[in-house]
Amino acid sequence: MARLTAAKRRAEPKSVFACPGRTYPVEDDAHAILAKAIVTRKMGRGQMSRGEGALSAAKARCQKLGNPNISAAREAGATALKANADRHAANVLPIIAEIQKSGATTLRAMAEALNARGIPTPRGRKWEAMSVKNALARA
């Protein structure tokens, strides 16, 4: 397919473009059929995963991809992460207080005690000094 410059694009009639808003240049139906055949062949050979194949097929159908309201989704995700961290910190703070009473004064010692008890961080990892500090800061 030849490169389409901005000037040539403006000169072309709308009928040469596909997808919503007529934005994607398609020379004819044979090109779209060929693109779908290539994807199918690559998936059959194992050169493309099912996810990549599904993405290519969605693009060929001119399906709009992605979340149309990404800022709201990002905000909701951040709120959920903060709520989970607050909830986990509230559950761990009594244990940290108990560890402090037993003589652990450094963040590193508290992290080692939490790891020895088998208590995971909110994301299921091992405790580090900074993760203990962050949990204490949430109190």
Q: How confident is the model at residue 3 (pLDDT cuts 50, 70, 90)?
A: low
Residues 123 and 84 in one domain: yes
Residue 5 lies in a domain: no
Alpha helices in the chain (DSSP H): 6-11, 29-45, 50-60, 70-101, 107-116, 129-137
Share of the chain above pLDDT 90, in %: 44
Answer yes or no: is pLDDT of 23 > 70.
no
Please give the tally of structural domains in the chain.
2
In a domain, 8, yes or no: no
pLDDT of residue 15: 65
Q: Is 7 within a domain?
A: no
Q: Is 4 part of any domain?
A: no
Q: Are 110 and 100 in contact (CB under 8 A)?
A: yes
Domain boundary among 22, 42, 60: 60
CB 132 within 8 A of CB 111: yes
pLDDT value at 1 more than 70: no
Question: What rounded mean pLDDT belongs to the chain?
Answer: 82
Residues in the chain: 139
* 93 and 52 co-located in one domain: no
- The rounded distance, in Å, linking the Cα atoms of 13 and 11 is 7
Range of the domain at 46: 13-60
User: Would you place residue 122 in the very low, low, confident or very high pLDDT band (cuts 50, 70, 90)?
Assistant: confident
Domain end among 24, 40, 60 = 60
Tell whether 42 and 82 lie within a shared domain.
no
Mean pLDDT, to the nearest integer, of 77-82? Answer: 93
pLDDT band for position 64 (cuts 50, 70, 90): confident
The Cα angle at residue 96 between residues 113 and 84, in degrees rounded to 5: 110
Bridge-based pairing of strands 17-18 and 24-25 is antiparallel
> Do both 53 and 86 map to the same domain?
no
